Copies of this chain bind each other. A is one copy, B any other.
Amino acid sequence: MTAEKSKKRGAELTHLDEKGRARMVDISSKRVTARAATARASVMMQEATLDLVLGAGIEKGDVLGTARIAGIMAAKKTSELIPMCHPIAITSVEMEFEVDRKASTITAVATARTRDRTGIEMEALTAAAVAALTIYDMCKAVDRAMTISSVQLLKKSGGRSGTFARDKE
């Protein structure tokens, strides 16, 4: 990357001012639009742990139910957790869980919506990440080596930056 190009892109690190100092960027003049974002986070675990979560050894438990609520509530805490995030009017949060037995993985998929001047990727990412951390917490007594990965934005619509959709991998 040439220095010039880099400088141009640097200007786009919107949460830094021209001196490189953190700020909450001014969105006063942006328009209110309907926005939606979907993000995911996957928890890789031992096969036996997955069995436990899905109820092989015990009555179908509250692991995923607890993770779903943790994720939804965490979306509402995004602007408290991420320093430069604006508080926004979240209008919806939904959490799904996809189980991949072959990969021994549970994937939390969060979709968040707003009608505001900014957002809503960080809310979706935070919901997915905290749901995954909650699964870790509920299972850590039997499987401390679980790993959370593929925390990423799947798609986003609304707002000036337009639509984003992750390529299939």
Contacts and interface: CB of A to CB of B under 8 A. Distances in A.
A103 interface: no
Q: What is the predominant secondary structure among interface residues of chain A facing chain B?
A: mixed
Given A13-B141, A83-B134, A137-B15, A20 B70 contact: no
Contacts of A142: 9, 12-13
A166 interface: yes
A26 interface: yes
Interface in A15-41: 15-17, 19-28, 34, 41
B62 A16 contact: yes
A82 interface: yes
Interface in A88-123: 88-95, 113-117, 121-122
A22 B133 contact: no
Contacts of A144: 121, 153, 156, 161, 164
A6 B68 contact: no
A25 B74 CA distance: 16
Contacts of A22: 61-62, 65-66, 68-69, 72, 138
B91 A89 contact: no
B152 A81 contact: no
Nearest to A24: B93
